[in-house]
Structure 1
Amino acid sequence: MQWTDQGIVLGVRRHGETSVILELMTREHGRHLGLVHGGRSKTLKPVLQPGNTVQATWRARLDEHLGSFQVEGLAMRAAHFMGSPLALYGLATMAHLLRCLPERDPHPALYETLSVLVDHLDDRDLAPALFVRFELAMLAELGFGLDLSSCAATGARSDLIYVSPKSGRAVSAAAGEAYKDRLLRLPGFLIGQTRANRPRGSDIRDGFALTDFFLHQNVFDPRGQPAPEERARFVALATAEED
């Protein structure tokens, strides 16, 4: 068995004296693990850092085996990320969420979303909104996608400012007025209602509150797991600035 694919490094763990087990999120083969011989060498160690993109060739005698990777660095971001707490907390949160996916289950659309995110993970102007979109994409891939295209009550496609916590569907201002205290806020940047390069701080906070609610309801709580501490730290940094 053999294939070659691009992948983003999620993590490594030691294996023996010189090797590591590498965890990648790949474009066509999903979250995939494999042994890298000599992965702790001076040559390979900088390549196998979380956030880097690599070209990986996986080989195994049988498909169900762990197999081994041969890797080549394509985008070396990790050294740059070391100076950014925002990026480091974002990487840890991103990896935690991706580990909710079954291993070797392909998610090519999610990979594209992830690629855009890691390219800007240390950018305070872009990373927060991109991370909210990534968390929404994760919910969709896990089978809990939100429908933000029209009002759940009226079918209207305009003036959507709420989300129902029960259905995960958008709700218009008029339809939600009587129930607004029980609805979640829908930030305009998620439905193309802002032209600003950077959404307002209040919209970013609303975005993270939205994904936080549905991640807890559908992912963390059913698994009996708390949200990763790194996510709270990432959100705190991402929302630290005032409007």
Structure 2
Amino acid sequence: MEWSDEAIVLGVRRHGESGVLLELLTRDHGRHFGFLPGGRSRKTLPLIQPGNSLAVTWRARLDQHLGTLSVEATRLRAPGFINAPHALYGFAALAASLRFLPERDPHPALFDAVIHLSEALPDAESVGPLFVEFELRLLAELGFGLDFDSCAATGTQENLVYVSPRTGRAVSAQAGEPYREKLLTLPGFLVYEGPANRVSPQALAEAFALTGYFLQRWIYEPQDRAPPPERARFVESLTREEDPA
């Protein structure tokens, strides 16, 4: 068995005397593991850090085997994360979320979104909305897509400001007013503007609270898992209001 693919590194673990176990997200072969001989060498280790893109070839006698990798670095993003702590938290949260994908199950559209998001991570002013969009896409890929197209109660597409915590569907201001204390806030940039380069810290915090609620309810809790702590640190770093001085 042999295949070649584009990949981004999600994780690296020691394996054997000098090798590493690479956890990758590949375009056409999904989340995949493989053994890289000599991966802890001074030459190779900097190239396979989380966030970097690789051209990989995987070989094994049988498809169900771990397999051996050969790699060539194509984009080194990890050095750019070092001077941006929020980017380190963000990629760690991204990788933790991707581990809910079944192994070897391809998600090419999600792969493209991960590459785009990883490129934007160092830019604290623009990455927040993109990360929210990634979490919405991940929920959809896992079968839990949210619906912000029209009001669940009336069908209107106007003035959508809430989300039902039960169904994940949008609710208009008028229909939701009697139940506003039980509904989640739907930030306008997710409905009417699409991903924006800059949104207010409050709107961004509301968006992360929205995706966080459904990740918790539909992904973390059923698998008896806690949210990755890096996500909370990432969100706090992006939504913290600057003190006026």
TM range (shorter): over 0.9
Q: What is the distance in 2 between the residues matched to 1:121 and 1:201? A: 17
Q: What is the distance in 1 between the residues matched to 2:114 and 2:214? A: 19
Displacement over 4 Å in runs of 4+? none
Deviations 1:132-181 (A, max 9, x none): 11111111111111011111011111211111001100111111111111
1:124 corresponding residue in structure 2 = 124
2:109 corresponding residue in structure 1 = 109
Structure 1 residues 58-97: aligned runs within 5 Å:
58-97=58-97
2:148 corresponding residue in structure 1 = 148
Q: Could you state the TM-score of these two structures normalised by the residue count of structure 1?
A: 0.96
The one-letter code sitting in structure 1 at the alignment partner of 2:191 is I
2:13 corresponding residue in structure 1 = 13
* Distance apart, 1:223 and its partner CA: 1.3
CA gap of 1:242–1:145, structure 2 versus 1, over 3 A, is farther
CA gap of 1:98–1:195, structure 2 versus 1, over 3 A, is closer
More divergent stretch after superposition (131-140 vs 190-199): 190-199
The one-letter code sitting in structure 1 at the alignment partner of 2:201 is G
Paired residues in the alignment total 243
- The SS at the match of 1:177 is helix
Gaps of 5+ in 1: none
Q: What is the distance in 2 between the residues matched to 1:238 and 1:32? A: 30
* Distance apart, 1:195 and its partner CA: 8.6
2:199 corresponding residue in structure 1 = 199
1:22 corresponding residue in structure 2 = 22
Q: What is the distance in 2 between the residues matched to 1:73 and 1:215? A: 32
- The SS at the match of 1:47 is helix
Q: What is the distance in 1 between the residues matched to 2:144 and 2:7? A: 25
* Distance apart, 1:224 and its partner CA: 1.3
- The SS at the match of 1:137 is helix
Verify the 8 A CA contact 1:201 1:242 in the aligned structure 2: no
Deviations 1:109-152 (A, max 9, x none): 11111111100111111111111111111111111110111110
Q: Could you state the TM-score of these two structures normalised by the residue count of structure 2?
A: 0.95
Verify the 8 A CA contact 2:126 2:196 in the aligned structure 1: no
2:241 corresponding residue in structure 1 = 241
Instruction: Give the aligned CA root-mean-square deviation in angstroms.
Output: 1.4
Deviations 1:3-25 (A, max 9, x none): 11111100110111111010101
Gaps of 5+ in 2: none
1:35 corresponding residue in structure 2 = 35
Q: What is the distance in 2 between the residues matched to 1:195 and 1:141? A: 19
1:213 corresponding residue in structure 2 = 213
2:223 corresponding residue in structure 1 = 223
